[in-house]
Amino acid sequence: MSLENIKHITLVLSGKGGVGKSSVTTQLALTLSLQGYSVGVLDVDLTGPSIPRFFRIESSKVRQAPGGWVPVPVHEASKESEEQNGNEHIDSTNGQSHGHGALYCMSLGFLLANRGDAVVWRGPKKTAMVRQFLSDVHWGALDYLLIDTPPGTSDEHISLVETLLKQATPAQLSGAVIVTTPQAISISDVKKEINFCRKVGVKVLGVIENMAGFVCPNCSECSNIFSKGGGKVMAQEFDVPFLGSVPLDPMFSRLIEEGKRPFYPEGTVVDGKQMQTKDDLLETGTLVQNYTACSLFPLFDGMVKELVKTING
């Protein structure tokens, strides 16, 4: 079975589209990799598969192998990381390179002839595709598999998650991360997500509030007062862990769209950390290397450490 050698499977959910579910999935994956773990990303958003775009591997093709598909590599494990063997006590923010774990992706986007092709499949065909994604991908041994799901909590989603649950063992399925925005934090929106998880028997690992605040690319004035939204209060109210708030950072979009390493106006401080300026700019590296310069990386680094702790009990 293709999921057999995967230690932890985590779903990323949101009630609405456009709140940043795929960008959160991408950053969780890059950060886990930077902490030395081997990671797979499965994109089961069949109507808007955006994982190939986020990892800048849109022109890659999935290879057929006996009995299934070979996922597309974003990068292989670095040497240092292999020596450390996915070791837990990696401090990825102290500026030293500790290497990174391998990162692979699977998405319907790799199988469509034309990226723009919208898929208007009905329920049963979608369910069959999801089942195939879960049984026919040669992931190999992974520490974490992140699943980017379509937005919503309809009956179709319930059947989708039930299919996922059938293919994985309860020990493998660690739970779900819920992504929301300050606007969507309205009680009803998040409540729906939490009820959905309870209904299908998936543990809520935590809520991430995305698009809370703004890291301005023009001057440091407003970025330094990046305030956390109402996410924490909301999470307490529903008795689920709050992982953190993530501001909008145009440098993150630029990294995804153009592959360029982020830099910030002199004096930009996000969450107590000084950001790199144009003068510190290093030569352009790989996506994972460039992501370490993004203002969102230290935030994700902290959230992922929390998540790993929660998952490992």
Ligand X SMILES: Nc1ncnc2c1ncn2[C@@H]1O[C@H](COP(=O)(O)OP(=O)(O)O)[C@@H](O)[C@H]1O
What does the binding site for ligand X look like in residue numbers (CB under 6 A)?
Answer: 14, 17-23, 50, 151, 210-211, 246, 248-249, 252-253, 256
CA–CA gap between residue 278 and residue 74 (Å, rounded): 26
* Minimum separation from the CB atom of position 7 to ligand SF4 (A): 42
Among 4, 221, 237, 280, binds ligand SF4 (CB under 6 A): 221
Q: Is 99 or 182 the residue whose CB approaches ligand SF4 more closely? A: 182
Length of the chain measured in residues: 313
Q: Distance between CA 278 and CA 209 in Å, rounded?
A: 29
257 binds ligand SF4 (CB under 6 A): no
- 203 labeled part of a ligand binding site: no
- One-letter identity of residue 205: L
Using CB under 6 A as the binding rule, whether residue 219 contacts ligand SF4 is answered as yes
Beta pairing class for 173-180 and 6-13: parallel
The distance from CA 26 to its chain's CA centroid, rounded to whole angstroms, is 4
Give the nearer residue to ligand X in terms of CB position, either 17 or 99.
17
Please calculate the CA angle 313-304-258 and round it to the nearest 5 degrees: 155
248 binds, among Mg ion, ligand X, ligand SF4, none (CB under 5 to 8 A by kind): ligand X
Contact 68, 136 (CB under 8 A): yes
Quick one: which of 111, 112, 165, 222 contacts ligand SF4 (CB under 6 A)? 222
Contact 139, 102 (CB under 8 A): no
Dihedral sign, Cα of residue 22, residue 179, residue 262, residue 100: negative
Q: Which is closer to ligand SF4, CB of 97 or CB of 218?
A: 218
Residue 221 contact partner, candidates ligand SF4, Mg ion, ligand X, none, CB within 5 to 8 A by sort of partner: ligand SF4
Q: Quick one: what does residue 211 bind among Mg ion, ligand SF4, ligand X, none, with the CB cut-off 5 to 8 Å set by partner type?
A: ligand X
Per DSSP bridges, beta strands 6-13 and 142-148 are parallel
Between 223 and 292, CB nearer to ligand SF4: 223
Residues that bind ligand SF4 (CB under 6 A): 216, 218-219, 221-223
